[in-house]
Amino acid sequence: MKGAIFDLDGTLFDSMWVWHRVDERFLERHDLPREDDYLKSLGPMGFHRAAEYTKAYFDMPCSAEEILNEWFLQAKDLYDNEVLLKDGAKEYLEKLRREGVRLGIATSNHRDLFTGTLRRCGVLDLFDAVATTSEVARGKEFPDVYLLAAERLGTSPEETVVFEDIPQGLSGAKAGGFFTVAVEDPFSEKERETLLALADRYIGSFRELL
């Protein structure tokens, strides 16, 4: 392993509750139904695609930019002050750095949200590269964002591991030729069997890798 690429929400960050809260408040504020198919579809999308999808799905009169702004304002305070790393994540990142592994991020999140969290948790400087789904044509169900992260790391997929918590991300990474590790998260518990089937390895905590 020369490179390791990490998803953030649900993988390195204990943060899926943030988006659950944002989604619930958004749907309630606009008097929209809570539909599982809609919520599940948002996971692998980047911010702009998710906003455009939401506008079209509910036929909303507001613009995608207005939806984005509402989501962003709700989430930023929580990321700046409350979101933490998962147990053992910092220690594992530091271990990989000591071993000379290059570290990257592949996320659907927004840089203005996650950068402050990484800095507050003391791990921002451990990463060599960042790629977001807003920079590629397709979402995490495709390999695009992982290939971009690997390109920026200077490593090939065959020598790079991807850590993810959602089936779409694991499928996309596998399609790109990466070794994959599924990271357990309470919000993906219903999909545990799918994660086990897709991933090359499944972990309940980063402490298993220490």
Stated pTM of the model: 0.85
Domain ranges of the chain: 3-14+83-209, 16-81
**Tens-digit pLDDT profile for residues 134-167:** 999 999 999 999 999 999 999 999 999 999 999 9
Task: Give the count of beta carbons closer than 10 Å to the beta carbon of residue 58.
Answer: 16
CATH fold, domain 3-14+83-209, is Rossmann fold (3.40.50)
**Tens-digit pLDDT profile for residues 93-117:** 999 999 999 999 999 998 999 999 9
Pairing of strands 13-14, 84-85: antiparallel
How is domain 16-81 classified at the architecture level of CATH?
Answer: Orthogonal Bundle (1.10)
Average pLDDT of each block of 10 consecutive residues along the chain (210 residues)? 97 92 91 87 79 94 93 90 96 98 96 95 98 94 97 98 96 98 93 96 97
